[in-house]
Amino acid sequence: MQIVTIQNLKKIFKDKEVLKGINLEIPENSIFGFIGKNGAGKTTTMKSILGLLKVDEGSIKIYDDIVTFGENKTNKYIGYLPDVPEFYRFMNAREYLKLCGEALGLANDIVVKRTEELLTLVGLANEVSRIKGYSRGMKQRLGIAQALLGKPKLLICDEPTSALDPKGRKEILDILSSVKNETTVLFSTHILTDVERICTHVVFLDEGVIKLQGKIDEIKKMHQSNEYIIQFLDENHAKKISKRFELDLVNPIEVKVLVQKLNEVLAYMIKENIAFSKIEFLEKTLESFYLEVIQKWSRFYHFSRKNY
């Protein structure tokens, strides 16, 4: 079942069309990576899902309920962590979550129980200091606890790992990964390795247009590489093979070869007594694939424009 269905969503700020008719479906219990460079329209999309922006065209549904600007009936399903979460810095984590629980209208005993569960989940159960002394990573973890307080069906996080060091990023990714059985997760980022680590689904947004969306496994399978890397012991051998077969040198001791040519190259290497240290299938990363998709579209865009 789809938890979010977006149809033909358009948003214009002044004279700039920031979302150009996007269609997006987020299935329940997925971890959805929302990828796009700065200014692509990720925050605008997320705020639209939360009903915080008035859209110019199109519709958004949470399950079967239509999202309406200024109304919060669909937000009962959603927990939200903004890109720069704000806190009452003089409070400690428990005081802050108690306040958030009251704002949500939860009963006191439920808030107390949920606070302990969530502080354990985000690794802050033993933290008694005030929020003003927290690191960025701790603030993000507390922000996730706050967003999960009302047991939302959908957790939306706007760039939760972008400002963090590798350890802080891993902690956040582990938390997002651990809640997937109870909550669908949508998080935006421009760090593709983070998406590759935990996401089941991905969407590429570029200049307000969705270039690709789907299951990561299927996308990777569909766009599988057909190249190998041969690593030599000697730079001269790499140079010689590269020249003879017109192969790209990846670095001074490695060449890239298409699978169709591999046997021919290997036969020549055996004949010439050229040793190698490694032959490896070139697995495409999400990052290389993303760049390929974005470039292909931009070539297509320029080509189309030329033909007008």
Ligand X SMILES: Nc1ncnc2c1ncn2[C@@H]1O[C@H](COP(=O)(O)OP(=O)(O)OP(=O)(O)O)[C@@H](O)[C@H]1O
Residues in contact with ligand X by CB under 6 A are 13, 18, 36, 38-44
- Nearer to ligand X (CB atom), residue 195 or residue 247: 195
Single out the residue of 165, 164, 205 nearest to residue 186, CA to CA: 205
101 versus 160: smaller Cβ distance to ligand X: 160
CB of 16: closest distance to ligand X in angstroms? Answer: 6
CA distances (Å), 187 to each of 46, 80, 119, in order? 9, 10, 21
8-state DSSP, 76: G
Instruction: Using the minimum distance from each CB to ligand X, give the nearer residue, 22 or 247.
Output: 22
DSSP 233-260: SSHHHHHHHHHHHT-EEEETTEEEEEHH
H/E stretch holding 287: helix 286-306
CB of 159 to ligand X, least distance (A): 6
> Is the four-CA dihedral 62, 64, 65, 67 of positive or negative sign?
positive
Residue 211: other Cβ atoms inside 10 A: 18
Residues 6+ apart with CB under 8 A from 164: 136, 137, 140, 172
Nearest distance in Å: CB 37, ligand X: 7
CA distance 90 to 241: 66
Q: Is 130 helix (H, G, I), strand (E, B) or coil?
A: strand
CB of residue 144 to ligand X, shortest distance in Å: 18
Query: Rounded to the nearest whole angstrom, what is the least distance from the CB of residue 210 to ligand X in the complex?
Result: 12
**C-beta of 38 vs 263, nearer to ligand X:** 38
Q: How far is the CB of 294 from ligand X (least distance, A)?
A: 14
Structure tokens of 296?
């292909």
Distance CA 9, CA 22 (A): 5
- CA 82, CA 207: separation in Å to the nearest integer? 21
Residue 40 CB, nearest approach to ligand X (Å): 4
- Where does 122-165 have alpha helices with state H? 136-148
Give the nearer residue to ligand X in terms of CB position, either 149 or 294: 294
Residue 44 or 184: the one with the smaller Cβ distance to ligand X is: 44
Q: Which is nearer to ligand X, 114 or 169 (CB)?
A: 169
Q: Rg of the chain's alpha carbons, rounded to an integer? A: 24
Total residue count of the chain as it appears in this document: 308
Q: Please report how many Cα atoms fall inside a 13 Å half-sphere around the Cα of residue 94, on the Cβ side.
A: 11
Query: Whole-number minimum distance, CB 273 to ligand X, in Å?
Result: 53
Cβ nearer to ligand X, comparing 179 with 203? 203
